Amino acid sequence: MLRDAPLYAARMSLFLDSFWRAVAYCLHPRVIALSFLPLALIVGLSLGLGYLYWDAAVAWVRGALESTDLLQSVWGWLQDAGAGNLKTVVAPLLVIFMVTPVIVVLSLVVVGMLMAPALANLVAERRFAQLERKRGGSLAASIAWSLGSTVLALIALIVSLPLWLVPPLILLLPPLIWGWLTYRVMAFDALAEHASRDERREVFRRHRMWLLGIGILTGYLGAAPSLLWASGALFAAAFVVLAPLAIWIYTLVFAFGSLWFAHYCLAALQALRAQETALSLPPQAPAPLALGDDANSRPV
């Protein structure tokens, strides 16, 4: 344990240093400008799907609720209590809550495809201009990696939905799944341009837990905008305003995560190459002893 302490301290230092650098880079004008591009695409897609399918989705959910005998008694009790109008609010809220994970995952994919390479290049230009670009990850490989990881994350979300009814697990499972997806997508994109395939695998092997930690923390940050949806009926009425705001916050969180991964991964890659260079150098022969420097010589 003591032998691993210097290694742990070095990686913790890298973890914290990359965090503060990512926070500072979020204030860069290029980062702020890039954050609106995924927002425009996602809002356009959300509004288009909402225009086409919102009424049908709400009607389907409302029909499913009304066909349940247990809920029929609940609606009757609410009607007697004077809160019958709540029934009209529940279905839209359920549709919104069900769409939430899809919006989050879609935000991550769009950021990964559009923003992550640009943000990684920004970090590389400003901090790692001398780092050789070995281009171990092509655009096709990045898209395939992102889509494959997204499919796995969506499967995990769907399978874990019943567990969300357990109060502690709803605070743990979604950020863990989103954090894992963030780690998979953004760490790959951060190294795609500069690392070879073997170097990328080695960085993943050495720093997997730290990269996963960045992903999980980013996942928890990504869950913060859900507070906008805690307003219940108010959110249903202000959907057009709050939904784009929540999506933009998600986008900024993912942009921050992309910067965090870029700073960490490129610094780790630079350290890996420096270590490999040092190990590949031949050992230097000891300098020859000058006359009078041997152990048997004595001053005159």
**Does the pLDDT at position 82 exceed 60?**
no
Closest CA to 242 of 258, 257, 255, 231: 231
Note the pLDDT tens digit of each residue in 6-38.
888 888 999 999 999 999 999 888 888 888 877
Over residues 112-140, mean pLDDT: 84
Percent of the chain with pLDDT over 70: 70
Instruction: Give the start-to-end residue ranges of the domains of the chain.
Output: 25-50+100-273
Using CA atoms, how far apart are residues 237 and 228, in angstroms rounded to an integer?
A: 13
> DSSP assignment, residue 137?
S
**Token couple for 112:** 């990964």
Would you say the pTM of this structure is higher than 0.75? Answer: no
Using CA atoms, how far apart are residues 187 and 252, in angstroms rounded to an integer?
A: 17
For residue 70, the model assigns a pLDDT of 57
For residue 300, the model assigns a pLDDT of 41
Over residues 284-298, mean pLDDT: 51
> DSSP assignment, residue 283?
P
